[in-house]
Amino acid sequence: MKKTPTGFTIIELIISICLFSVLIFVVVSMFLNVFSNPEKNLSALENIDEARAVTSDFANEIRNASVANDGSYALNHTTENQIIFYSNYGSSSPTIIYRIRYFVENNNLYKGVIIPSGSPLTYDLLSEDVTTLLTGLENGSDPAFYYYDGDYNGSGSELSEPINLTAVKFVKISLVAPRLSEEGSSTFLVNAGAAIRNLKDNLGN
């Protein structure tokens, strides 16, 4: 009786080597795609995290907006790319109300803070501490800030300019930020908002 030969034939060996080579190529390609240029990929993640942190801080600050230490109304200025308000969020004392200004200029987002001083407490505009929060924004003609009245429940039209300060009960920040990765550049939208507690007149929101 003729025995069936065991082991690989040359053709089977060649096919196995080809399949193994393809598998190795796929694995290596995936590895390089994920781990090549880690600094750039990490930078993309950091940029997203920074944008989310900025919008989260803004929401907390605007939520706690209140009458200033000099008696000024909680909201001072409200336009598409700039907002000025007073809030004690992050203040060293609950009785110290900061003057906070967010504004977009040359596609960058800045934040200015004035801590009241003197007796009685006043806000010296020359003492404003301005920091750069985000750069390279791509909002284009889209506003960075949206304002809503007390009927806003998550949907509906924003207030149009010129905005009546006393009508504003909810404020949203919306940013189109760049995201750079190994695959190229793209953008992502991040937004956050909050009802101003001390101005809220609709308890259903």
Residue 185 pairs with which residues in a beta bridge? 180
The residues spanned by each domain of the chain are 38-199
Which tens digits make up the pLDDT trace of 171-180? 999 999 987 6
Which of residues 147 and 183 earns the better pLDDT score? 147
Residue 134: burial class (beta carbons within 10 Å; 0-12, 13-18, 19+): buried
Question: Picking from 92-96, 108-112, 180-184, which range would have the lowest pLDDT averaged per residue?
Answer: 180-184
Which tens digits make up the pLDDT trace of 16-53? 777 777 777 766 665 555 455 555 444 555 678 899 99
Residue 168: burial class (beta carbons within 10 Å; 0-12, 13-18, 19+): buried
Helix ranges (DSSP H) in 114-154 = none
Structure confidence at residue 182 as a pLDDT band (50, 70, 90): low
* pLDDT score recorded for residue 8: 58
**pTM (predicted TM-score):** 0.76
- CA nearest neighbour of 105 among 129, 139, 148, 74: 139
CA dihedral over 43, 47, 49, 53, signed as positive or negative: positive
> From the centroid of its chain, how far is CA 124?
29
End-to-end CA distance of the chain: 88
Which tens digits make up the pLDDT trace of 151-166? 898 888 999 999 999 9
* pLDDT score recorded for residue 205: 43
Whole-angstrom distance, CA of residue 98 vs CA of residue 109:
19
Whole-angstrom distance, CA of residue 6 vs CA of residue 160:
83
Q: What is the dihedral of CA 28, 29, 33, 34, to 10 degrees?
A: -30
